[in-house]
Amino acid sequence: FPKIEEPADAERVARRIALPISEPFELHGHSIDIGASVGVAVCPDHGVAIEGLMRAADIPMYRAKQQGGGRYCLFSEELAAEHQRKIDTEAALGEALQRGEFLLALQPQLSFATGEVSGAEALLRWNHPREGLRLPGTFIPIAEQTGIIADLGDWVAAEVASVLAEWQAQGIKRRISFNVSPRQLDRSDFLPRMRATFADAGVPLSLVEMEFTETAAMECSEAVLDEITALRNDGLSIAIDDFGTGFSNIARLRTMPLDRVKLDQSLIADIETSEKARVVVQAVIQLVKGVGAEVVAEAVENVAQADILRAMGCDTVQGFVFAGPMYEEEFTSWTRNADRGARSGAA
Ligand code: C2E
Ligand code: MG
Ligand code: MG
């Protein structure tokens, strides 16, 4: 649009394209419903040659799509930087695995009843050569999009198996749970491979727990559910993670192979101050226990929250109030002290 004087003009044009296209129309007696996502780049700020401008416009177009489509978005330096970071991350992820840049941190889970450390959740960390420690939120979504999540997930399982084997040699019997991405479940050989990983390491499945997000648990096929059930019959624990944020088919809770449900952080965030938040959490706890599963509260940050959750009947607690994620060595010495405390009743 050569006559455009300023970005606001371009936005007006983009709106005039996106809006009418989103109106359903009739074609040969069928109602057709389509949409358009528009990315806007301005010459000469965002490029001068047509190729450069198109490339620049692509970035906000993907953002517009990501935000649900049927809208427009303007190029910005922040968007471009974010896009570049995504490309860099994508490229670096594959090599990072080869170079051994990943680490597992373990976060203790404590039993409310005994104060003892009942298990740990394995949380992935990326020791990036230039940027330092990167948390999973900055690379798991990208790994999921590129498919590298499968290799990453295999590495996590192998690492969990090796820690458990080491503990077993030392006579430590403690369960580790790890997170499984929905994309991993898409692969038909995923669960058999998991079984082999732990069998090869000589680790009984009773020491292993897999965490699936609510939506993944609800969406997986009958065939996958059958395989999960078989693993569970051999001792594996199954947990639903971030419960309360996805779309739960409550009826399915009755039949799902399920041991524990982890209440999402957002559910428990306001329980000290909000009566409504307490009512909701209490109802969810009743529901979960009603179907025979245990309740884990995660991201518990203070003693007030922990006390309320204990009184409400939560079984297990995980959160900064007791301990954050730690690397294996620190975790082992932390749990040694914690268990001593629990035994002497000081926890
Ligand atoms: P998640 O499985 O729900 O893990 C709990 C997250 O809460 C962790 O963040 C943990 O560090 C954090 N957390 C623990 N205690 C507290 C607390 O008291 N307060 C607050 N505010 N946060 C707390 P992290 O390690 O950044 O992991 C984020 C998410 O990344 C995880 O959420 C999980 O969905 C995903 N993730 C982590 N490791 C893996 C992995 O190996 N594979 C896959 N597919 N996803 C992973
Ligand atoms: Mg988790
Ligand atoms: Mg969670």
Q: Which atom of ligand 1 is nearest to the CA of 181?
A: 44
**Is-contact 294 263, C-beta < 8 A?**
no
**Is-contact 135 125, C-beta < 8 A?**
yes
Look up tokens 């090796």; give the residue. Answer: 162
Cβ count near 57 (within 10 Å): 19
Arithmetic mean of pLDDT, 198-225 = 93
Q: 3-state secondary structure string, 299-346?
A: CCCCHHHHHHHHHHCCCEECCCCCCCCECHHHHHHHHHHHHHHHHCCC
* Distance between start and end Cα atoms, the chain: 69
Arithmetic mean of pLDDT, 213-242 = 92
**Which residues form the pocket of ligand 1, taking CB atoms under 6 Å from any ligand atom?**
107, 123-124, 135-137, 140, 153, 156, 178-179, 181, 211, 241-242, 298-301, 319-320, 324-325
| Contact residues for 14 (Cβ-Cβ < 8 A; gap 6+) | 38, 40, 72
Predicted pLDDT at 7: 83
Percent of all residues in the chain with a pLDDT value above 70, rounded to a whole number:
99
Best mutation site among 104, 123, 176 for ligand 1 pocket (most ligand atoms within 8 Å of CB) = 123
For residue 185, the CA-to-ligand 1 centroid distance in Å is: 19
Predicted pLDDT at 347: 44
Percent of all residues in the chain with a pLDDT value above 90, rounded to a whole number:
80
Look up tokens 């490029």; give the residue. Answer: 47
Tens of pLDDT along 12-33?
999 999 999 999 999 999 999 9
Residue closest via CA to ligand 1's atom 41 equals 124
Residue closest via CA to ligand 1's atom 12 equals 299
Tens of pLDDT along 112-166?
999 999 999 999 999 999 999 999 999 999 999 888 999 999 999 999 999 999 9
User: Which H helix or E strand runs over 105?
Assistant: strand 102-111
